[in-house]
Amino acid sequence: MVKNTLMEIYDKMSAAFGPRHWWPAESDFEVIVGAILTQSVSWKNVEKAISNLKAANLLSVDALLTVDKDKLTGLIKPTIYYNQKALKLKNFCNYIKHNYNGDIYKLFENDIWQMRKELLSINGIGPETADSIILYAAKKPIFVVDAYTRRIFSRLGFFPNNVTYQVMQDLFMKNLPPNVELYNEYHGLIVELGKAYCKKNKPLCTKCPINTHCLWMTNKNDQVNVTG
């Protein structure tokens, strides 16, 4: 039964890593900025950028809207793609300014799927970023899927490696209760497990706390080979 298996995996990861208590940020707005900056970048790089923005007192909708674009790109340089991301930050702030008078909490008053629809309409915000904002900033129960989720759970045999985002998200949301704390921890634990034991192009490690659930993986393309 998928439901039980998902909870067993959760319990094992939780026992191995302890509570994650994501997202590491001082404010909900900082969560949003981090969600945009972390796209395809390790969190370490994002920390530097956030720290730069904080020092420049730019962690607000109005500040990000008025700051010179070149200055902004300079501050977020550690996060790669800084030109694109500077625009993305401004796009988001622009949307909030014009539709919610600059108040992100007015956006949060929408129901989950309406909020998701609006976020996805903003250039620079895709499924993972939107869902991270909804779960970790708005604190509403939506399951965040990422590259680690795909890699780990395809290796576990839940779905093929080329599965879509939506199919993955549906699996978790149909089999887990809509609980913000649970979704928060589950995604955080997946990332932790992924970083420690499920690297790209490398087989799952025997020390992995959920290896009893694993189908063994041997070749470079993350294809799953069943060995029992």
Partner DNA sequence: GCCCAGGGGGCTC
Partner DNA sequence: GAGCCCCATGGG
Binding range to DNA, per CB under 7 A, among 5-13, 19-27, 50-58, 174-182? 19-27
Site for DNA in 180-199 (CB under 7 A): 191, 194-195, 199
Q: Which residues contact 105 (CB under 8 A, 6 or more apart)?
A: 28
Binding range to DNA, per CB under 7 A, among 53-61, 92-100, 146-154, 211-219? 146-154
Q: What is the CA radius of gyration of the chain?
A: 18
Work out whether 128 is an interface residue with DNA (CB under 7 A).
Answer: yes
When binding is defined by CB under 7 A, the residue of 6, 38, 72, 197 that contacts DNA is 38
Q: Which two tokens stand for residue 197?
A: 């034991």
Measured from the CB atom, the residue of 39 and 154 that comes closer to DNA is 39
Size of the site for DNA (CB under 7 A): 42
Residue 228 CA neighbour count, 13 Å, CB half: 0
Closest-CA residue to 149 (of 137, 123, 131)? 131
Task: Give the separation between CA 85 and CA 184, rounded to whole angstroms.
Answer: 25
Centre a 10 Å sphere on the Cβ of residue 223 and count the other Cβ atoms it contains: 12
When binding is defined by CB under 7 A, the residue of 33, 39, 92, 116 that contacts DNA is 39
Work out whether 40 is an interface residue with DNA (CB under 7 A).
Answer: yes
Q: Which two tokens stand for residue 157?
A: 């045999």
Work out whether 164 is an interface residue with DNA (CB under 7 A).
Answer: yes
Binding range to DNA, per CB under 7 A, among 76-84, 105-113, 172-180, 205-213? 76-84
